[in-house]
Chain A
Amino acid sequence: MEPLEIAKKIKERFPDQVIDVEEHRGQVGVIVKKDRIVELLRWLHDDPALHLNHLADLCGVDYLGKKDVRFEVVYNLYSIPLRHGIRIRAQVPEDDCQIESVTSIWMGADWHERECYDLLGITFGGHPDLRRILLPDGWEGHPLRKDYPLDGGGKNWSGYDKVLERSKKLRKYDFYGTYQDPTKKTGIEDARE
């Protein structure tokens, strides 16, 4: 089935949910509201004429200052037996940064959603184990948000500070005098400044 036909079918089935249909380079994205996302995706997964059984990709996008609704969660779906695909883009506003989890439809969505939570701070309701995954547990902020600085803002991660403290304690075992203070600046760094 052509992607535009699938988009039309979704529009017929969920007329109040579909906001817009966008086409770019032959690929179609359907922008939807987040309210009935699980119901919509389950229908796409189970309907025999669509049968979109492969969740190729799930990720979040931050449209800070670009769009009225800040976040979008993007589901790239593909049907292995029927060989067609479509993209569903669910809008998630900043003040209600939460969307229902689709782990009940695809088991593989588990880690996709954890990554999305970790890097963009979008919460997934009903997720079995929503923790940080790529970053350590004590990390502050969500790096893929557009207002997160690229260089980290000059502050050390709290875990790194703990390591430094520990290394100070263990310095008494430095019998050979080879210890180097990692917080102390070397000549190379000075030259760069």
Chain B
Amino acid sequence: MLENKAQLRLVKGDEATHEPYTIAMGPQHPATHGVLKLDLELDGETVLECKPTVGFLHRGVEKLAENLSYAQTLPLTDRLDYIASMANNVAYSIAVEKLLDIEVPLRAKYIRTMVMEMARLTGHLLWLATHALDIGAMTVFLYCFREREILLDMFEEICGARLTTSYTCIGGVRQDVTGHFLESLYDFTEDFPSKIKEYETLIDKNRIWLKRTQDVGIVSAEDAVSLGLTGPTLRGSGVDYDVRKHMPYDAYPYVKFEVPIGSKGDVYDRYRCRMEEMHQSNSIIRQCIEALPTGPIRAADAPDLVMPYGIQKKVAADATFSSGIIKLVKDSERYIEGDVYVAAEVPKGELGFYFVSDGKGVPYRMHIRSPSYIHIGALSFLCKGQMVADVIAIIGSVDVVLGECDR
């Protein structure tokens, strides 16, 4: 309906009665979710051209990583998608583990899956809160932050930080989970489906919400794949692509879950996908708690990267206790030339790390394939011919965070 209207306007734009004009939206704008600048060329309220400008938050993570050891780069990944940093930690760790061929113990795999799904919940809750706020539903914001707060407190309990967690390490996780943590998380998962219902009663059948989201920002399945969209943004268009199913990592092969997909590819479908995903994440967390095995939480054969678990002899031989620092053994067999690309499904989409190693303790090249970057690149395609007010809805529905985009 709206699209037809927009096309009508475009035809009229050729007439000399009115001329197109340009406005700059951002970089300081509450609805752009960070320092994103959009140069909108408008005809009345119809967007003729949308040119996103990014890079305001560029910190050169890739260049820094070339000069830091694998373990030292891990805290930098917190600052990519700071909304769900746990997911970034896991994505980085599995990539390095693939490059260095490290086998992670089963308990660590389950814990990682658990925290990754918790990160997905925090990410989706913040997305729902801000997306609804942008469209005009203020109350949802407060409801979502209520639950997000509980999850962040739990992050604090296991690693001491709420946002910049750095919880995983290469070869496992840093600290073991406590019984209290598991109990409180299990209690949370029992309540949480009813909380999702609460959000849905607020907006799911709300007439204003439906008018703002249905048939807005439609992207076909073919275009979505061609644009490189991933995650719920792609699945809203009906493409069944989830890295957790296609290239399973950690404990995802051992848990049961479904991948919700949409049909039409509009803002509403993407919203529904994420809501369903929260149910699935909730169920994955429950399964992980129920099946959590006992055992070590760090790989025993990654001595240069973590404190070894159960091979104290090797450390003692190389330890320089006089200076008060334990020098870890470098296992040169692990560092061989080669390259890998490993992806993980973070709340925003497919976060991939491409590593080139030249056999040294630092990566020769690290490239981050960040979903937000690709999604913002797709904005000019998505916003063409839409109304200005719908641009806000579309930015919200593709779910971007600029820390990850600019790296």
A contact residues vs B (CB 8 Å cutoff): 22, 24-25, 27, 29, 53-57, 59, 61-62, 66, 74, 76, 78, 80, 83, 87, 106-112, 115, 119, 133-136, 143-144, 148, 150
**Can you pick out 15 interface pairs between chain A and chain B where the beta carbons lie within 8 Å of each other?**
A25-B340, A53-B226, A55-B228, A56-B228, A56-B341, A61-B356, A76-B352, A87-B339, A106-B227, A106-B228, A108-B378, A110-B377, A111-B376, A135-B58, A148-B63
Contacts of B99 in A (CB 8 A): 25
Q: How far is the CB of B318 from chain A (nearest CB, A)?
A: 27
Known interface pairs A76-B354, A87-B341; A59-B367 also in contact (CB < 8 Å): yes
Please provide the chain B residues from 45 to 82 with a CB less than 8 Å away from any CB of chain A in the complex: 54-55, 58, 60, 62-63, 67
What are the interface flags for B390-407 relative to A under an 8 Å C-beta threshold, 1 for contact and 0 otherwise? 000000000000000011
**Which residue of chain A is the closest to B343 with respect to CB atoms?**
A56
The answer on a CB contact under 8 Å between A56 and B369 is yes
Tell me whether chain B's interface is mostly helix, strand or loop, or mixed: mixed
The answer on a CB contact under 8 Å between B63 and A144 is yes
Report which residue of B54, B337, B367 has the largest number of chain A beta carbons within 10 angstroms of its beta carbon. Answer: B367
The CA of A135 and the CA of B343, in the complex, are separated in Å by 26
The answer on a CB contact under 8 Å between B358 and A66 is yes
The answer on a CB contact under 8 Å between B374 and A111 is yes
Residue from the list A25, A78, A108, A143 in contact with B63, Cβ < 8 A: A143
Q: How far is the CB of A109 from chain B (nearest CB, A)?
A: 8
The CA of A14 and the CA of B33, in the complex, are separated in Å by 46
**Which residue of chain A is the closest to B51 with respect to CB atoms?**
A129
The answer on a CB contact under 8 Å between A27 and B340 is yes
- Say whether B101 faces chain A, with CB atoms less than 8 Å apart: yes
The answer on a CB contact under 8 Å between A80 and B239 is yes
B contact residues vs A (CB 8 Å cutoff): 54-55, 58, 60, 62-63, 67, 98-99, 101, 223, 225-229, 239-241, 246, 337-341, 343, 350, 352, 354, 356, 358, 364-365, 367, 369, 373-374, 376-378, 381, 406-407
**Which residue of chain B is the closest to A54 with respect to CB atoms?**
B225
The CA of A106 and the CA of B340, in the complex, are separated in Å by 22
Report which residue of B67, B339, B350 has the largest number of chain A beta carbons within 10 angstroms of its beta carbon. Answer: B339
The answer on a CB contact under 8 Å between B226 and A25 is no
The CA of A154 and the CA of B364, in the complex, are separated in Å by 24
Residue from the list A59, A87, A106, A133 in contact with B226, Cβ < 8 A: A106
The CA of A136 and the CA of B406, in the complex, are separated in Å by 12
**Which residue of chain B is the closest to A129 with respect to CB atoms?**
B51
Report which residue of A24, A55, A80, A87 has the largest number of chain B beta carbons within 10 angstroms of its beta carbon. Answer: A24
Known interface pairs A80-B241, A107-B227, A150-B67; A57-B338 also in contact (CB < 8 Å): no
Report which residue of A29, A54, A61, A74 has the largest number of chain B beta carbons within 10 angstroms of its beta carbon. Answer: A54
Contacts of B378 in A (CB 8 A): 107-108
Contacts of A54 in B (CB 8 A): 225, 228, 241
- Top-10 shortest CB links A-B: A108-B228, A24-B338, A111-B377, A59-B367, A134-B55, A57-B369, A134-B58, A76-B341, A108-B227, A80-B241
Contacts of A107 in B (CB 8 A): 223, 226-228, 378, 381
The answer on a CB contact under 8 Å between A108 and B341 is no
Contacts of A76 in B (CB 8 A): 341, 352, 354, 369
Contacts of B406 in A (CB 8 A): 134
Q: How far is the CB of A70 from chain B (nearest CB, A)?
A: 13
The answer on a CB contact under 8 Å between A144 and B98 is no
The answer on a CB contact under 8 Å between A143 and B60 is yes
The answer on a CB contact under 8 Å between B352 and A56 is yes
Contacts of B54 in A (CB 8 A): 133-134
Q: How far is the CB of A60 from chain B (nearest CB, A)?
A: 8
Q: How far is the CB of B70 from chain A (nearest CB, A)?
A: 15
The CA of A53 and the CA of B63, in the complex, are separated in Å by 30
The CA of A68 and the CA of B62, in the complex, are separated in Å by 24
Residue from the list B55, B98, B246 in contact with A83, Cβ < 8 A: B246
Known: A25-B101, A59-B365, A59-B369. 19 other contacts (CB 8 A): A25-B98, A25-B99, A29-B339, A54-B228, A56-B369, A74-B339, A80-B225, A106-B226, A106-B227, A107-B226, A107-B228, A107-B378, A108-B226, A112-B228, A134-B406, A134-B407, A135-B55, A135-B58, A136-B55
Q: How far is the CB of B17 from chain A (nearest CB, A)?
A: 30
**Which residue of chain B is the closest to A146 with respect to CB atoms?**
B66
Residue from the list A57, A135, A150 in contact with B341, Cβ < 8 A: A57
Contacts of B62 in A (CB 8 A): 119, 144
Known interface pairs A80-B239, A135-B55; A61-B60 also in contact (CB < 8 Å): no
Contacts of A78 in B (CB 8 A): 246
The answer on a CB contact under 8 Å between A57 and B367 is yes
The CA of A72 and the CA of B358, in the complex, are separated in Å by 15
The CA of A103 and the CA of B373, in the complex, are separated in Å by 16
The CA of A76 and the CA of B356, in the complex, are separated in Å by 13
